[in-house]
Amino acid sequence: MALVDTALRGLKPQQKPKKYSDGGGLHLLVNPNGSKLWRLVYRFEGKQKTLAFGVYPKVSLADARALRDRAKKALADGIDPARNTNSATTDHDTFEAIGREWLRAQEPTWAPKYAPQVFRQFERDVFPALGARPITDIEPSEVLKLLRAVEARGAQDIAKRLRQKISAIFRYAIASDRAKHDPAANLKGALKPPPKTRHMAALKAGEMPEFMQRLRAFDGQAKTALALELVIHTMTRTNEVRFGRWAEVEGGLWRIPAERMKSGRDHVIPLSQQAKAILERLRALAGDSEWIAEGTRGKPMSENTMLFALYRMGYHSRATTHGFRATASTILNESELWRPDAIERQLAHVPGDSVRSAYSAALYLDERTRMLQWWSDKLDEFEAEGKPVQATTNSRLSDTDLSDLLGT
């Protein structure tokens, strides 16, 4: 039975690899890790062989069928299609095949938690770009292009480590007579250092346990601490919480309209169980107010209220409300459990690339739902790791004193 694109897009990974046939020996192999690989099984001179046509959806269904037809024509002419490396290559000569061979060889030497991270890095960043290519045909510019894409999301350390591992795979291929040179060898100097930009003060992961305990011990107004918690759990900007209305919250979603977003586009935020509990407490404090984070005299919370709370907790010049977005982004990216595009979408960053910026308010919603629950659970872990604290001495500073610190 012929395959259709709509069905292919919805295929989910199983516990074991599963093949979906399109006829004529062409099938899509769906691995447990979620990768979808085009394969053509054929016989030549009495031997069964397999061709790799690349990764779906980068190689479309129509493209895979065209490659199958080209291979069939070669067979009809008495030619082994594996010799035509412009259209396909044998499985054992592709970068992915040799790469996985090297990864499996290294796996016993790695820590149990490290090996899955490395495999995820390659399946996310490397194999989609190089996997289906004959390893002998790969040029330095191709390797640099994928490393630049990793750098572009701010993951310079990951780009550096990937270059080292890619280079090791080429050296392994050279040692086993399957490659002649290492195109990644001289790219170390080509990788760009992190840009020197000024960022909002943000806490590192190691500082979060103490912070979460200090937030729990905050002796100011409860709604201030809850609003700050909501910012952290939802990865939102301060004003998105300050001007949030109860009418925007429905079920497990918070829908922020375009006119309140910096991007100028609607933003849908899936709510974790912890975020829902925070909202329930804020609603109890709000009474009949329309505002999620009410200030005084029926108005939204003032601009610096949450920042002043950080000062009262002892975090002047050490943390800002906006900085928690950077903290969350760093921890989520370093976990390597989530696609960078899902993290960027949760931050309401709209990519500049014309293809990637095809917009939907609910883009990556399923993944972001799981991701935000993971993030909220991680915040709970941080709090559990921290030592209980008393309210800081700064907690007695008045708003006037805090304004002096701000220079306002």
| CATH at residue 115 | 1.10.150.130
Same domain, 244 and 388: yes
* 359 is known as an active-site residue: yes
Q: Does residue 200 fall inside a structural domain? A: no
Give which of 98, 103, 19, 6 is closest to 60, Cα–Cα. Answer: 6
Average pLDDT over residues 109-134: 86
Q: Does residue 144 fall inside a structural domain? A: yes
Catalytic residue among 163, 237, 242, 316: 237
* 262 is known as an active-site residue: yes
Q: Does residue 218 fall inside a structural domain? A: yes
302 CB-side CA count, 13 A: 8
> Domain tally for the chain?
3
Same domain, 346 and 400: yes
* 20 is known as an active-site residue: no
Q: How confident is the model at residue 348 (pLDDT cuts 50, 70, 90)?
A: confident
Q: Assess whether pLDDT exceeds 60 at residue 73.
A: yes
Catalytic residue among 68, 242, 316, 322: 322
Q: Enter the pTM of the model.
A: 0.51
Catalytic residue among 9, 145, 204, 262: 262
Share of the chain above pLDDT 90, in %: 40
Q: Assess whether pLDDT exceeds 60 at residue 257.
A: yes
Average pLDDT over residues 105-117: 82
**322 φ/ψ angles, rounded to the nearest 5 degrees:** -65, -30
* 260 is known as an active-site residue: no
Task: For residue 264, give the 3-state DSSP assignment.
Answer: coil
* 322 is known as an active-site residue: yes
Residue 320 near residue 306, CB atoms below 8 Å: no
Q: Are strands 249-250 and 89-90 parallel, antiparallel or unpaired?
A: unpaired
Catalytic residue among 124, 312, 325, 368: 325
Q: How confident is the model at residue 84 (pLDDT cuts 50, 70, 90)?
A: low
Q: Does residue 196 fall inside a structural domain? A: no
pLDDT at residue number 361: 53
